[in-house]
A = this chain, B = another copy of it.
Amino acid sequence: MDLLAIKQQIEKLAAQKIGMYQKDFLLTWDKSEDDLAAVFLTAEILRGLRAQNISCRVFDSGLAVSNFRDNSTRTRFSFAGAANLLGLAVQDLDEEKSQIAHGETVRETANMIAFMADVIGIRDDIYLGAGHAYMLAVAQAVQQGYDEGVLPQRSTLVNLQCDIDHPTQTMADLLHLINYFGGVANLRGKKIAMTWAYSPSYGKPLSVPQGVIGLMSRFGMEVVLAHPQGYNVMAEVEAVARKNADQSGGAYHRVASMAEAFDQADIVYPKSWAPYAVMEQRTQLLQSGDTAGLKALEQRCLENNKKFIDWECTEDLMRRTRDGKALYMHCLPADISGVSCARGEVEAPVFERYRVPQYRQAGYKPYIIAAMIFLSRFQNPAATLRALLERGRKRIL
């Protein structure tokens, strides 16, 4: 994107009706279509500015607090890259090195870490029913702290994956689709197959399939979910997908096999996840500290998974897709048969053929997060972006 194109995108953003100022980004379905469009526009503008060696530093100081309650590489580095791009320093809340074990309330911790925080990013995807609730509690605490004059700013939250949604992932996925198919309008009528796939690992969150059906159903696509019996996702999110599809003129339905889902699909997203019921049991066992029970559950679950070892994204299956050329997607890392495990989610040649597009897809995440931060901190984002462009400070001297 050259400078002229960047300017045009900024003016397009200026015309947008955006309601994200001082708001958290927790679930994509809490946001309007205009908000989502603003995120994509801002992400692309920031990416364009950086590519033109124009500094996007809008904060001369400020903290971006991260709180990873589960492992992360991509999202951690994306959050760090996004924060840094805008001028914020990452300060990680490592709960093992804090005093939180003392029985401190979430309300208190949230205020204590937020005094100098412009943004707070949280990953909490292990406990079903807990991750989103935790984010809501933190959001409520910082809102209250701001209202009470405790916090000098309303630090805004970014959901870096919870038990329900994974918006920084699915928004990056969608930006990839928009660019791949040449515009959001071209997504209308496209069929996307979000399907379960076999993996020898256990306990993968449901947030990606849920996030995908909850987001992709808003753009007139035909969204198909497929999984073995028992591997269902949250009914509430399926209801969201159904409603979205109705409103957008698309469709949402569930089928019972990968083959059916892949038939004439334009996009396939085969990925493993744990059955909802297993995740529920696991949450209970984790909370009661039942180690033996957890091991037994893992064993049962892995054995159950094995019944569906043929849920693999093969070359054969790919041939059923539109012209045999559906776009293969994954949030990464994928379990690649013969590479990262004996049998996994995808055959190595399929993965390899789509490796570069997938890496590009992952490469959108820092800008998606930066855009989410940007739009939550600036009341008139187009004006701020114009100011950045006018300032013209080089990122690298």
In the complex, the answer to whether A99 meets B333 with C-beta atoms within 8 Å is yes
* A220 lies within 8 A of chain B by Cβ: no
In the complex, the answer to whether B80 meets A63 with C-beta atoms within 8 Å is yes
Q: Which residue of B lies closest to A394 (CB)?
A: B60
Q: A108-B333, A340-B104, A395-B59 are in contact. Are A91 and B80 (CB under 8 A)?
A: yes
C-beta contact mask, A109-120 vs B, less than 8 Å → 1, else 0?
101110111100
C-beta contact mask, A71-97 vs B, less than 8 Å → 1, else 0?
111101110110011110111010001
* Chain A interface mostly: mixed
Q: Which residues on B sit within 8 Å (CB–CB) of A61?
A: 55-57, 84-87, 395
Q: Which residues on B sit within 8 Å (CB–CB) of A384?
A: 397
Specify which of A60, A102, A333, A397 lies most central, judged by the most chain B CB atoms within 10 Å of its CB. Answer: A397
Q: Which residues on B sit within 8 Å (CB–CB) of A363?
A: 115, 150-152
In the complex, the answer to whether A103 meets B51 with C-beta atoms within 8 Å is no
Q: A61-B87, A102-B340 are in contact. Are A112 and B73 (CB under 8 A)?
A: yes
In the complex, the answer to whether A148 meets B58 with C-beta atoms within 8 Å is no
In the complex, the answer to whether B73 meets A84 with C-beta atoms within 8 Å is no
Alpha-carbon distance between A173 and B96 when the two chains are bound, in angstroms:
26
List the one stretch of A255-263, A305-313, A354-362 in contact with chain B. Answer: A354-362
Give the residue of B51, B97, B103, B150 whose beta carbon is less than 8 angstroms from that of A68: B97
**Least CB distance, A81 to chain B, in whole angstroms:** 3
* A50 lies within 8 A of chain B by Cβ: yes
Q: A78-B115, A112-B362, A150-B360 are in contact. Are A71 and B97 (CB under 8 A)?
A: yes
In the complex, the answer to whether B77 meets A340 with C-beta atoms within 8 Å is no
C-beta contact mask, A334-356 vs B, less than 8 Å → 1, else 0?
01000111000000000000001
**Least CB distance, A42 to chain B, in whole angstroms:** 14
Copies of this protein in the complex: 3
Chain A interfacial residues counted at CB < 8 A = 76
Alpha-carbon distance between A72 and B104 when the two chains are bound, in angstroms:
13
Alpha-carbon distance between A90 and B365 when the two chains are bound, in angstroms:
19
Give the residue of B78, B112, B359 whose beta carbon is less than 8 angstroms from that of A77: B112
Alpha-carbon distance between A57 and B129 when the two chains are bound, in angstroms:
42
In the complex, the answer to whether A395 meets B60 with C-beta atoms within 8 Å is yes
**Least CB distance, A369 to chain B, in whole angstroms:** 11
* A105 lies within 8 A of chain B by Cβ: yes
In the complex, the answer to whether A112 meets B63 with C-beta atoms within 8 Å is no
In the complex, the answer to whether A103 meets B397 with C-beta atoms within 8 Å is no
Which chain A residues have a beta carbon within 8 Å of chain B's beta carbons? Answer: 50-51, 55-63, 65, 68, 71-74, 76-78, 80-81, 84-87, 89-91, 93, 97-100, 102-105, 108-109, 111-113, 115-118, 145, 148-152, 201, 332-333, 335, 339-341, 356, 359-360, 362-363, 365-366, 377, 384, 387-388, 393-397
Additional A-B contacts beyond A85-B116, A111-B359 (7; CB < 8 A): A50-B152, A61-B85, A63-B77, A72-B97, A89-B90, A149-B356, A150-B363
